[in-house]
Amino acid sequence: MSGAGRLTTHVLDTANGHPARNLTIDLFRVQDGVLNRLKSVRTNADGRCDGPMLEEGDMGLGAFELHFHVGDYFRDLDGTQAAFLDIVPVRFVISDPDAHYHVPLLVSPFGYSTYRGS
């Protein structure tokens, strides 16, 4: 189905066992090694964005990068909690602009995991 492509994300705080609420995520297009910021959002109570990071006509072929501001998130959550991680970058390639790309992040102050979800 042409034009149905979208990019979504979801952040889960595995250290505390709940969605990462109010976490800042920046989206960049990577062109010739340069990051061009397209969007900056905060996650909602479910650890998701209120809408797709990219959708329909905004989707394009090429490299993109999500910056998850996990250091700020953990410091805001508990000012005394030391955060080893600061910004978690996830670079990925969109090869089919009509597909759904879902990039979840499972994160704690000291480690993270990501994958292409559905």
Give pLDDT, residue 1: 41
Share of the chain above pLDDT 90, in %: 84
Q: For the segment 104-117, what is each residue's pLDDT rounded down to a tens digit?
A: 999 998 999 999 99
Q: Where are the domains of the chain?
A: 6-114
Report the candidate in 75, 76, 60 with the shortest Cα–Cα distance to residue 5.
60
CA 30, 49, 67, 88 torsion-angle sign: negative
> Taking 70 as the threshold, does the pLDDT of residue 3 lie above it?
no
Query: At the fourth CATH level, which superfamily is domain 6-114?
Result: Transthyretin/hydroxyisourate hydrolase domain (2.60.40.180)
Query: CB-based contacts of 41: which residues, under 8 Å, 6+ apart?
Result: 24, 25, 27, 49, 50, 53
